[in-house]
Structure 1
Amino acid sequence: MLTILQIAATMHKVEDKTKPSQEKLKKQYTKVLPGLRDAIDVSTSIKDDMKISQLRVQGHLMESVMKGDWQEVGAECLSRLPDKTEFERSVFYREICKHDRFRRNHVSAEYILYLIANGNLDEAQDLRRTPLPTFKYLADKFHIELETEWELRRFALSGMLLYLQWLKETDDQTAMENEKDEEDEHPDRDKPSRKADLAMQAICQFVRVTNEPGVWDIFITKLAELYQYLNQPEKAEATYRRYWQLNPQNPNAPKFLYNFLKSSGESDTKLIEVLQDIVTKQPSDSLVVDYIQLLLGSVSQPPESRHSVCLHHLFRLLDYPSSGQELPPWELFVNLLKSVLNSKEESELVSVRECWTERESWWPAQYFSRRNLKTTKSPQLQTLRAISAIYLQGKDCKFAQKVETWLSKGQNHHLQRKLQKAKEMTALSVSK
């Protein structure tokens, strides 16, 4: 197996400035295929896998070889070995880093992340400090950009290692404070300064990355946490806002900011501003409920216009079957429909009719059918759906009658009374 890994590592080396041609790759594949097959056969027999698994691995290796991705070849071989393969894995990744001038940062960062995930922080730190080989000439524009991207990832991983050291210092300090031995009468006064130094070092690494466009979700939260530790919440907020500005299409970016503002006790106006972007781009997100609740409590708009906007978002949210299985959206939906019907505002009724007209052909099959009584066993949820059906279709809708019969069998009298009260409003039904 080590021979195969050496072949994979050395084959990964690029001898000229351009990628090998398909003909060259085929020749390489022809040479290495017998050895790869032997390695697959040996490794699969060790794990006692079926022949289907061998075919799958062979197909994956063949595809990787044809693409010239020898790192994938070696990694697949390693994954087929028994559990204790740390030495072989280390040798392979270091050989790849040594030979591949185009993707050495990619490989190095990937291996550092693997070591961090497996708790080998010391080895990850050593690898981070190891200088990578340099070359006298540069690659083309594509490879330069690729190299720059993975250089940023190395900075991010460096920051993560420093963050983990800071976290360990925090845990150690907490453990010491909980101890009541006599030796703890004079705690180590240098601990806070060491923690602050580690926090500042980690911030320096993270900032080099988070100021660039890209998906840095797992790093941006650590950076904000360190700012909060240093009593700099304004920098934490600015970090989240900057990340949102640089990555407007990242669905997590505004959520990070919203959660931070909410935990900081910021005003509803700030929260609504962020949530408005979330519900516009992600109409099925559960935060739509938070947005509607905040909007209903806002005084910047008249109640009628707020009801119209909220119902519009709730219709969009409930268009998704997964959202239709939750109680909070239906509770808001029923209450808002009732408010609109009681208000007798024609503009509000027109707005609801427009939303319902778009869904009248398929909502009943999704929510107001006999099949729903079999798939959804929650009496509260079925009652809310039945009330919605009454408001939208009228008191004679068959689904409401079936739900009422179903509730009577379960002795849910209080829910039956809710249905009866809803039927009394049928004269104000939004149906034409």
Structure 2
Amino acid sequence: MDDLERELGPAEVLEEDRVSLDSTMGRKKAKLPVANPMHAVTPKETGFHQSTRVCLEHIREALLHHRWQEAAEYMACYPQMLEDSTNGTARQYKELTWKISTEILHHHPNSKLEDYNNIYERMKHSGVRHYLMICLEHSFHLLLHGHIEDAKRQLSAAESWRYGRESAAQLQRSKLIQAYRSLLDYILWSDKKFAHCGTEDPDSGDNQDMHNYFRQASVNLKGILKNSGVWDPFILSYVEMLEFYEDHEEALQVLNDYAYDSSFPPNPNAHVYLFHYLKRHDASEKKLMKVLKVLHVLVPSHELMLEYSSLLLQSEKKSDIQKALGVVLEMLDFACWRNNLDVWKRLKAIIQKLQLQGDCEDVVLGKMATRKDWWPALHFTRFHASRDSEENPELMEVKASLTKILCPDLMLKYTAGQVTSAVQT
């Protein structure tokens, strides 16, 4: 819709409207502009340009009010702007025509796949500026309708497409095309793998096809790590294939590079994928904690922090128990965890272990020093006591047993007595 507004241009205030405003507002200059009539003719517009401009305005109105049939009827006339060669104006309307047409088809109740194909093919051959991105979008649409082979053919054709001197933008889009084409190879590989698992013949045609798709996909998926970015689905697909063929060394190298290469943007998912892979293959607790330590810095509220605290709690080092306390308290700093019974049970277990070590009070007070002003309002009000007693009595019991330890200097209202008095009132 922003493209429509830009093409229609800024509104101008007509002289008679300005005079009317001045008289109404005591001859004061209006602070807001008054929109000009929709079909105003400018000196530079020919009759052809004016008619197409009016057509675009009607399309905009139809889109705004979700009148898709009306928009489609007007849109059937608008592409004649693509034939206009005066002053090179056709180029600016190509992307607009492409986006509006696909938007109408997406919402029109009677749209068919053939309609999409016709629009995409026409727009691809109307110029080269958006060829690669139109091919990519076309393949997405085919993929959504289950036409995986057709989608791959679209990307394969785009992958080999070249025009003039390759610009930086064209090179970047070509790499994106290659990545998605490889992702489609992975999808086809997955289908063949499923079929292969149902047969006992290792030399079946499905098995050979599966290997072929793996080789095709692995070439570009392996090269993805040469380009900085967030490539989660591509990395997961490549690792799954490597894991299937038991190439664990390569899979682990890929995940390590994705997680720790400084040229990539910080990505919590990369560390989650590495952790799950290591856990699947029975890695040592030391390696698991190393991964979760980095994830804790990036996302202290992540659900894996509960597992991180469990690993720390199993250690006999005092420093690890104190780290576990900090990890769980940081989880409870976020409202999404304040009603989670497992997190509060973990906090209680950590405090009990600290009590056995004899340095519980100082450690807990140190961790709670910056929280005592706002934690009670987050966890220990009369409202929380009333709600927890009704919805989760076990949670209330655990929380109530920790109030004096976490906030020893405060008179908290999170007690069974407060709930009883509140009910009586």
Which TM-score tier does this pair reach, normalised by the shorter chain?
Answer: 0.7 to 0.9
Contact in 1 for aligned 2:275/2:291 (Cα 8 Å): yes
Tell whether the 8 Å contact from 1:112 to 1:124 is kept in structure 2 after alignment.
yes
Q: State the Cα distance separating 1:104 from its structure 2 match.
A: 2.3
Deviation at 1:35, TM superposition (A): 5.2
Q: Assess if the C-alpha contact under 8 Å between 1:240 and 1:253 holds in 2.
A: yes
Shift of 1:273: 0.8
* Equivalent residue, structure 2, for 1:136: 164
Higher RCO, 1 vs 2 (CA within 8 Å, ≥6 residues apart): 1
- Out of 356, 361, 375, the residue aligned to residue 373 of structure 2 is 361
Change (3 A) 1:99 1:33: same
- Counterpart selection for 1:267 from 284, 287, 291: 284
| Partner residue, 1:148 | 171
Q: 1:155 to 1:68 in 2, by over 3 A?
A: closer
Q: 1:307 to 1:242 in 2, by over 3 A?
A: same
C-alpha separation in 1, matches of 2:361 and 2:122: 70
Distance 1:70 1:147, change over 3 A: farther
* Structure 1 partner of 2:303: 286
Distance 2:356 2:227 in 1: 52
Equivalent position amino acid for 1:157 in 2 = Y
After superposing the two structures, state which structure 1 stretch, 117-126 or 35-44, moved more. 35-44
- Out of 215, 219, 227, the residue aligned to residue 242 of structure 2 is 227
> Where in structure 2 are there 5+ consecutive unaligned residues?
8-43, 71-91
* TM superposition shift of 1:29: 8.1
**Are residues 115 and 338 of structure 1, via their aligned partners in 2, closer, same or farther at CA, if it must alter by over 3 Å?**
same
Amino acid at match of 1:387: S
Name the aligned partner's letter for residue 101 of structure 1: V
Q: 1:137 offset after TM fit, Å?
A: 4.5
Q: CA deviation at 1:103?
A: 3.2
Task: State the TM-score, normalizing by the size of structure 2.
Answer: 0.73
Alignment of 1:308-327 (within 5 A): 308-327=322-341
Are the equivalent residues in 2 in contact too, given 1:314–1:329 (CA < 8 A)? yes
Which of residues 301, 313, 330 is equivalent to 1:296?
Answer: 313
Give the drift of 1:356: 1.2
CA displacement at 1:240 relative to structure 2: 0.8
What is the TM-score of this pair, normalised by structure 1? 0.72
1:283 partner SS: coil
Q: d(CA) in 1 for partners of 2:373 and 2:251?
A: 48
Letter in 1 for 2:401: I
Instruction: Give the Å deviation of 1:357.
Output: 2.0
2:132 to 86, 100, 105: 105
Taking a change above 3 Å as real, the CA distance of residues 126 and 28 of structure 1, as seen in their structure-2 partners, is farther
Q: Considering only aligned residues, what root-mean-square deviation do their CA atoms show, in Å?
A: 3.4
User: 1:130 aligns to what SS in structure 2?
Assistant: helix
Q: Which amino acid aligns with 2:164?
A: K
Any conservation in 2 of the 1:115–1:124 contact (CA below 8 Å)? yes
Identity of aligned residues (%): 20
**Cα distance in 2 for residues equivalent to 1:109 and 1:239:** 26
Secondary structure class of the residue paired with 2:312? helix
Shift of 1:100: 4.6
Aligned partner of 1:169 among 192, 202, 215: 192
Q: 371-380 vs 125-134, which deviates more? A: 125-134
SS of the aligned residue for 1:358 comes to coil
Counterpart of 2:347 in structure 1 is 333
The separation in 1 between residues aligned to 2:120 and 2:225, in whole angstroms, is 27
**Aligned partner letter, 1:36:** I
1:314/1:37 CA distance change after superposition, 3 Å? closer
The 1:230/1:403 distance shift into structure 2, 3 A limit, reads farther
Structure 1 residues without counterparts, runs of 5 or longer = 1-7, 12-22, 48-64, 139-143, 178-185, 410-432
Q: Is the 8 A contact 2:382 2:419 kept in 1?
A: no
* CA–CA separation in structure 2 for the residues paired with 1:390 and 1:85: 67
Aligned residues between the structures: 353
